[in-house]
């Protein structure tokens, strides 16, 4: 009895060579097909990476600035009117155990800051004039970009320090310029960097507390800043309202500026699901493109399929060949997308001077999704190619 021939075996190296032959024969088509997957993965990794970098940058900023700063502002009375912080509130707060620094600003209501006296007084550009204590910058942990801050000497003269936003709106880029405040020119002795924990300072023109009286300042504190230790910030917060205004503690508004930054970091993370969705839509479009190209490839390569079947290739071999081609195509696109997304993350982190935080979940999800979509996209074309008999494939040519 005649022995049956042994089944043809296809080694992994042979499968890879056969599967890649179609890509090498049509390089431009392969690149354009992989481009859809690359765009989807790049969108996923890049957008999630930007969100991750932003969150890491905000958390690093919070760690640098600390979470031990509290602000105290007047609230409203029972009749709905604006209340006032009692005189001597700074001294009372400084005696609370755990407090390491207290400073304050007071709004100069009747004064406006303008670049020159030629600008109408109604054009304030959103810049407010505030009297400031000389230890304000130290308490806030802020820095001076140009010049210097107010001190005991300059506080008695028409000198002003501009917040970062105020300087931009007034057209002042460095110390030494003059601005028109309350009917007289003030020398700009300093321009501040952005103060993350006190954004109202960024929009303010800060003048000396003693000199502000000449502009109609009533001497009342409108915002009090208190700095304590990390261990005592909660206990200090619980006592602040009663210390500042023992008779009406309900008329005192207390806030923790770092909480806004923490909420901002949480919001950046909440957008990750949306970014994953946007990347998934782009990946789906890329997968449809690969499926379309593979169907066309089957139709164009019927002669090749017929020859391989007549030489002993099984249906499984043909199926694996086209699946390998499809998965390889999507994997290459996914790898390119990951690289593009990481470059975007790196560029954004360098531009913002933030720490580089790699979006590990997005990288893994993008790579796995690219492989899965490639397999799904190639499944139908591979089955269609495998169903062709040698005679059908050769007859079609």
d(CA 278, CA 281): 5
Nearest to 191 by CA among 215, 225, 208, 168: 168
Roughly what angle, to the nearest 10 degrees, separates helices 360-387 and 27-65?
160
Q: What is the mean pLDDT of residues 128-142?
A: 92
Mean pLDDT (the chain, rounded): 81
Sequence-ordered list of residues with C-beta below 8 angstroms from that of 385, at least 6 positions apart, any chain: 298, 301, 305, 318, 319, 321, 322
Q: Which residue has the higher pLDDT, 281 or 336?
A: 336
Instruction: Return the pLDDT at 4.
Output: 43
Beta strands 128-132; 204-208: pairing state: parallel
Instruction: Return the pLDDT at 349.
Output: 85
Q: Is 75 exposed, middle or buried (CB count within 10 Å of its CB: 0-12, 13-18, 19+)?
A: middle
Q: What b/e sequence results for 149-185 when a residue is b if at least 16 CB atoms lie within 10 Å of its CB, and e otherwise?
A: bbeeebbeebbbbbbbbbbbbbebeebebebbbbeee
C-beta of residue 41 within 8 angstroms of C-beta of residue 372: no
Instruction: Return the pLDDT at 1.
Output: 45
Q: What is the mean pLDDT of residues 334-356?
A: 85
What percentage of the chain reaches a pLDDT higher than 70?
79
When mean pLDDT is compared across 66-80, 115-129, 162-176, 282-296, the lowest value belongs to 282-296
Instruction: Return the pLDDT at 53.
Output: 81
Sequence-ordered list of residues with C-beta below 8 angstroms from that of 110, at least 6 positions apart, any chain: 182, 215, 216
Nearest to 194 by CA among 168, 160, 222: 168
pLDDT tens-digit map of 300-316 = 666 666 666 676 667 77
Instruction: Return the pLDDT at 333.
Output: 84
User: Phi/psi zone of residue 66: left (φ > 0), alpha (ψ -120 to 50 degrees), beta?
Assistant: left
C-beta of residue 371 within 8 angstroms of C-beta of residue 384: no
Q: What is the mean pLDDT of residues 150-167?
A: 94
Instruction: Return the pLDDT at 10.
Output: 56
Rounded to the nearest 5°, which phi and psi values hold at 191?
-125, 130
Residue with tokens 């030494």: 176
Total-model pTM: 0.64
CA atoms within 13 A on the CB side of 46: 19
3-state secondary structure of 255: strand
């Amino acid at each position: 009895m005649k022995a049956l021939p042994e089944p043809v075996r296809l080694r992994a190296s042979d499968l890879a060579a056969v599967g890649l032959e179609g890509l090498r024969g049509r390089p431009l088509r392969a690149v354009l097909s992989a481009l859809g997957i690359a765009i989807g993965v790049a969108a996923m990794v890049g957008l999630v990476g930007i969100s991750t970098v932003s969150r890491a940058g905000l958390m690093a900023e919070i760690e640098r600035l600390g979470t031990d700063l509290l602000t105290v502002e007047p609230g409203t009375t029972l009749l709905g009117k604006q209340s006032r912080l009692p005189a001597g509130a700074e001294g009372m707060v400084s005696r609370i155990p755990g407090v390491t620094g207290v400073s304050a600003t007071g709004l100069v209501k009747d004064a406006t800051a303008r670049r020159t006296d030629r600008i109408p007084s109604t054009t304030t550009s959103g810049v407010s004039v505030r009297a400031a204590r000389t230890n304000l910058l130290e308490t806030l942990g802020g820095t001076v970009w140009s010049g210097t801050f107010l001190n005991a000497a300059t506080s008695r003269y028409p000198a002003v320090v501009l917040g970062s936003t105020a300087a931009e709106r007034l057209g002042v880029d460095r110390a030494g310029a003059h601005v028109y405040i309350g009917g007289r020119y003030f020398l700009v002795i300093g321009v501040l960097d952005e103060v993350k924990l006190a954004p109202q300072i960024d929009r303010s023109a800060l003048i000396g507390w003693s000199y502000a009286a000449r502009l109609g300042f009533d001497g009342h504190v409108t915002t009090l800043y208190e700095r304590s230790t990390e261990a005592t910030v909660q206990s200090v917060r619980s006592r602040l309202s009663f210390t500042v205004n023992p008779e009406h503690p309900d008329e005192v508004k207390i806030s923790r500026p770092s909480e806004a930054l923490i909420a901002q970091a949480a919001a950046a993370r909440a957008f990750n699901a949306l970014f994953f969705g946007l990347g998934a839509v782009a990946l789906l479009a890329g997968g449809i493109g690969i499926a379309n190209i593979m169907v066309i490839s089957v139709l164009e390569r019927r002669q090749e399929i017929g020859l391989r079947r007549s030489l002993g290739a099984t249906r499984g071999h043909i199926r694996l060949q086209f699946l390998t081609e499809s998965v390889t195509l999507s994997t290459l696109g996914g790898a390119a997308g990951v690289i593009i997304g990481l470059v975007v993350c790196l560029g954004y982190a360098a531009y913002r001077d933030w720490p580089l935080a790699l979006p590990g979940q997005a990288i893994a999800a993008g790579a796995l999704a690219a492989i899965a979509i490639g397999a799904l996209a190639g499944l139908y074309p591979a089955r269609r190619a495998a169903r062709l008999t040698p005679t059908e494939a050769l007859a079609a040519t």
